[in-house]
Structure 1
Amino acid sequence: MPLIALTSPIAPAAVALLEDAGMRVELPPGRGPEGLYAICAEADALIVRLPLPRDLLDRSPKLRLVARAGVGYDFIPVDRATAIGLPVTNVPGGNAVSVAEHVIAQMMVVSRRLESADRTFRTKGWKAAIEAWDQAVELSGRTIGIVGLGAIGKHVAQIAGLGFGMRVLGMRRGSGALPDHVEPADFDRLFAESDFLLLSCPLTEETRGLASAERMARMKPNAWLINVARGGVVDEPALLRLLHEGRIGGAALDVMNEEPPARDNPLFEAPNLLLTPHWAGMTPASVERTNVAAAEEVLRVMRGERPVNVVNPEVWQHARHAAA
């Protein structure tokens, strides 16, 4: 029976799919990294939900596939996988609805000052809370700039533009056409003209530090930066300086440079900063959807078929599966 290793538990529906196909599905023994090394030394495929040690794949001679149960794969050593002919897959768009709705929720919370209204109501009473009504703004007519118009960015653009009547500016990699309701814009315009600037792009060498001190300094004084990409896309110290100086309206971060952040991380002391623990894409529906899709990729490779979403397609002709 082929052994499918997991870095952490996956949805029961995904486990059932693999077991019904005659696979053994197992978690590493114990909590330390040695358990992961031990199980991967015998595994035929690995489903990933947590960061991998850089040398793990070199110590896993039987692996035929590394399947990311999610979208981002920056914590998988894809270069090492490519060097040894090991395909890596992901599930693009699997959590797009969940992340997009999270982004819209963040915009609604900050535009209507819901947290502040709740806190003032509880501590100072009805009169003090209702007197702050003039701090709320409508999303209709505001501008959202989106860096990264993949599945997540497109869904946000659709909700914001067609649902709320917002002006949508966008930038994407490559030459693909933008949706009809999205106006193309370069970085200078995105940072300067947006009331909400959304980062939903992959973390690559090109996007690392994309939200630099210089670019963020061009933002409107009441604009909000929203990051659901990766922490490394933002110059975090520069963002903190801007927040403490009141140079921008605020920021909503679902991702950070340090995850989980230490309790003394300066993020926790920053004003006008809405923090969530990297859970924008985590609803029961989206987790099951991405886990099942990863399991389906494993089954394809075990049958000798090419998976649907290979992030390093150059290895396929020489992948380990071909000799299996």
Structure 2
Amino acid sequence: MKVLCTLPMTDAATCQLSGKAEVIVLRDQSDAGCREAVANADYLVVRSQLPDDIFDHAPRLRGVVRHGTGLDMIPVEAATRLGIPVANVPGVNAQAVAEYYVAGMLAFARPLARMETILRGQGWNAGRALAPSATELSGKTLGIVGVGTIGRRLAQACACGFGMRVLGMQRPGATLPDAVQPSSLADLLAHSDYVALCCPLTSATRGMIGAAQLRSMKPDAVLLNAARGAVVDEPALITALQEKWIRGAALDVYARQPLQPDHPFFQLDNVMLTPHVGGMTAESSSAMSAGTVRQLLQMMAGERPEHLVNPQAWPGRRAAQGGRE
């Protein structure tokens, strides 16, 4: 059997599949390249955006595993219609993403990297000149949009570790940790010094942070997004940063990825940019790959994967050569 990975897994995970399947890493990341490669795949491991029609080009495909949590990269409804089970690996990178948000806040509160650059280039006194502008997280307000697994860990770290006040917006009916004060989006944006977007991309959250929401934020507030780029109206955010509606932004995700070299973000000095690595650490990568392989092996053995996200597809799932079981 052939397992196609849109991006590599860890070496240990690949070794686990040795003797059971041939692991192939996608070389051509274009939509056309993905369609061509998946035609001969029995299983698909997803770490990057799939074309909407990908499953129309996958006659042998028996299962898909998302190497991570978010499912917006996969046309799940299309998979379900074709009897292709889809699983994910939820929660294993939550700590990594929570720590990314903390790092983003600290980067604005204490601009140590910039201080070091100035120290190396301009000397001791020039480096010290930035110190009076540094701030502390203690006593500041963090607003978390989407208090799920990641949001809860972030809230605990900031409330207990830094003494921050934490506001949280969560879907109706969901409970919040004791350290989080429930808030509407409008109040959260108006009162937060830092706003962390921890929500999934859905029809309700797409474009949720637009011009009106950015204008409602405090002028010294910082927006942090390691969720999905499309949660934010990117042109509106560019304008907000250019015109200093807010202090700045720490961004790990974008409307279009990879971020193009001529993107306006690169011309701004009040935005911290990273290449969609918020959930990637040695520990989280190992855990995600291990969880992915475990569910691949379950599907290969005809067993229901532990984190199946489209159970409707399971009864009529595809058999080994493209038929039905």
Say whether the fold is shared (TM-score over 0.5): yes
Distance in structure 1 (CA, Å) of the matches to 2:31 and 2:210: 35
Structure 1 residues without counterparts, runs of 5 or longer: none
What pairs with 1:106-121 in structure 2 (closer than 5 Å)? 106-121=104-119
State whether residues 161 and 167 of structure 1, in contact with CA within 8 Å, keep that contact through their aligned partners in structure 2. yes
Equivalent residue number for residue 10 of structure 1: 9
Equivalent residue number for residue 140 of structure 1: 138
Report the Cα offset of residue 73 of structure 1.
2.4
Please point out which of 53, 56, 69 is paired with 1:55: 53
Match of 1:17, as an amino acid? Q
Distance in structure 2 (CA, Å) of the matches to 1:304 and 1:89: 14
Q: Which deviates further from its counterpart, 192-201 or 73-82?
A: 73-82
Q: Give the SS at the match of 1:127.
A: helix
CA offsets per residue over residues 106-163 of structure 1, 9 Å max, x none? 1111101223322332343322332332211111111111111222111111111111
CA offsets per residue over residues 233-274 of structure 1, 9 Å max, x none? 111111111112222111000111121122111111123111
Distance in structure 1 (CA, Å) of the matches to 2:37 and 2:237: 41
Q: Give the SS at the match of 2:196.
A: strand
Distance in structure 2 (CA, Å) of the matches to 1:146 and 1:269: 28
Name the CA shift for 1:204/1:299 in 2 (closer, same or farther; >3 Å): same
Please point out which of 250, 274, 277 is paired with 2:275: 277
Distance in structure 2 (CA, Å) of the matches to 1:174 and 1:320: 37
State whether residues 244 and 271 of structure 1, in contact with CA within 8 Å, keep that contact through their aligned partners in structure 2. no
Equivalent residue number for residue 216 of structure 2: 218
Does residue 245 of the first structure (1) align with residue 243 of the second (2)?
Answer: yes
Count of paired positions: 322
Q: Give the SS at the match of 2:92.
A: coil
What pairs with 1:45-194 in structure 2 (closer than 5 Å)? 45-194=43-192
Distance in structure 1 (CA, Å) of the matches to 2:118 and 2:215: 30
State whether residues 96 and 281 of structure 2, in contact with CA within 8 Å, keep that contact through their aligned partners in structure 1. yes
State whether residues 28 and 38 of structure 1, in contact with CA within 8 Å, keep that contact through their aligned partners in structure 2. no
Structure 2 residues without counterparts, runs of 5 or longer: none
Identity of aligned residues (%): 44
Please point out which of 267, 285, 288 is paired with 1:287: 285
Q: Give the SS at the match of 2:18.
A: helix
Please point out which of 253, 272, 283 is paired with 1:255: 253
Provide the aligned C-alpha RMSD in A. Answer: 2.1
Distance in structure 2 (CA, Å) of the matches to 1:57 and 1:277: 27
Distance in structure 1 (CA, Å) of the matches to 2:276 and 2:151: 17
Report the Cα offset of residue 36 of structure 1.
4.2
State whether residues 214 and 245 of structure 2, in contact with CA within 8 Å, keep that contact through their aligned partners in structure 1. no
Report the Cα offset of residue 311 of structure 1.
2.5
Match of 1:94, as an amino acid? V
Report the Cα offset of residue 23 of structure 1.
2.7
Report the Cα offset of residue 174 of structure 1.
4.9
State whether residues 6 and 29 of structure 2, in contact with CA within 8 Å, keep that contact through their aligned partners in structure 1. no
State whether residues 145 and 190 of structure 1, in contact with CA within 8 Å, keep that contact through their aligned partners in structure 2. yes
Q: Give the SS at the match of 1:183.
A: strand
Report the Cα offset of residue 31 of structure 1.
6.8
Name the CA shift for 1:271/1:296 in 2 (closer, same or farther; >3 Å): same
Please point out which of 42, 61, 65 is paired with 2:40: 42
State whether residues 243 and 271 of structure 1, in contact with CA within 8 Å, keep that contact through their aligned partners in structure 2. no
State whether residues 92 and 151 of structure 1, in contact with CA within 8 Å, keep that contact through their aligned partners in structure 2. no
